[in-house]
Amino acid sequence: MSRVLITSAIPYINGIKHLGNLVGSMLPADLYARYRRGRGDEVLFLCATDEHGTPAEIAAQKAGKPVAEYCAEMWQTQKSLSDGFLLSFDKFGRSSSPQNHALTQHFAAKLHDAGLIEERTETQVYSNADGRFLPDRYIEGTCPNCGYDKARGDQCENCTKQLDPVDLIEPRSAISGSTDLEVRETKHLYLLQSKMRDELRSWIDTREDWPVLTTSIAKKWLDDGDGLQDRGITRDLEWGVPVRRGDADWPGMEGKVFYVWFDAPIEYIACANEWTAERGMPDADWQRWWRTDHGADDVRYVQFMGKDNVPFHTLSFPVTIMGANSTGEDWKLVDYIKSFNYLNYDGGQFSTSQGRGVFMDQALSILPADYWRWYLLRNAPENGDSEFTWETFQAASNRDLADVLGNFVSRVTKFCRSKFDETVPEGGTYGPEEEAVIADLTTRVAEYTRLMDAIEIRKAAAELRAIWVVGNEYLQRTAPWSAFKEDPDRAAAIIRLSLNLIRLYGILSQPFIPDAADAMLKAMRTDAAWPNDVPQALSALPAGHAFDVPENLFAKITDDQREDWSTRFSGTRT
Question: Which residue type does 187 have?
Answer: K
What DSSP assignment string belongs to 383-410? SS-EEE-HHHHHHIIIIIIIIIIIHHHH
Contact of 16 with 360, CB cutoff 8 Å: yes
For the chain, report the end-to-end CA distance as a whole number of angstroms. Answer: 48
On whether 156 is known to bind a ligand per the annotation, the reply is yes
Q: What is the 3-state secondary structure (H, E, C) of 67-93?
A: HHHHHHHHHHHHHHHHHHCCCCCCEEE
Work out the number of other CB atoms within 10 angstroms of the CB of residue 167.
17
- Please name the residues in contact with 318: beta carbons below 8 A apart, sequence gap of 6 or more: 200, 203, 333, 334
525-548 as b/e: b if 16+ CB within 10 A: ebebebbeebeebbebbeeebebe
- What's the CA gap between 162 and 56, in Å, rounded? 22
- What's the CA gap between 382 and 339, in Å, rounded? 7
On whether 352 is known to bind a ligand per the annotation, the reply is yes
- φ/ψ region of 37 (left if φ > 0, alpha if ψ in -120 to 50, else beta) reads alpha
- What's the CA gap between 44 and 33, in Å, rounded? 8
What DSSP assignment string belongs to 189-207? EEE-GGGGHHHHHHHHHT-
Torsion of CA 104, 108, 109, 110, to 10 degrees: 100
Helix axes 407-420, 457-478, angle to 10 degrees: 30
- 3-state SS class at 498: helix
- 3-state SS class at 178: coil
Instruction: Give all strands (DSSP E) within 297-393, no chain letters.
Output: 299-306, 336-340, 343-345, 348-349, 386-388
- Please name the residues in contact with 353: beta carbons below 8 A apart, sequence gap of 6 or more: none
Contact of 501 with 473, CB cutoff 8 Å: no
Select from 435, 438, 407, 415 the least CA-distant residue to 547. Answer: 415
- What's the CA gap between 209 and 404, in Å, rounded? 34
Select from 512, 516, 526 the least CA-distant residue to 551. Answer: 516
Select from 309, 311, 310, 300 the least CA-distant residue to 334. Answer: 300
On whether 143 is known to bind a ligand per the annotation, the reply is yes
Binding-site positions for Zn(2+) read: 143, 146, 156, 159
**Residues flagged as binding site:** 143, 146, 156, 159, 352
Query: Residues within the annotated binding site for ATP?
Result: 352
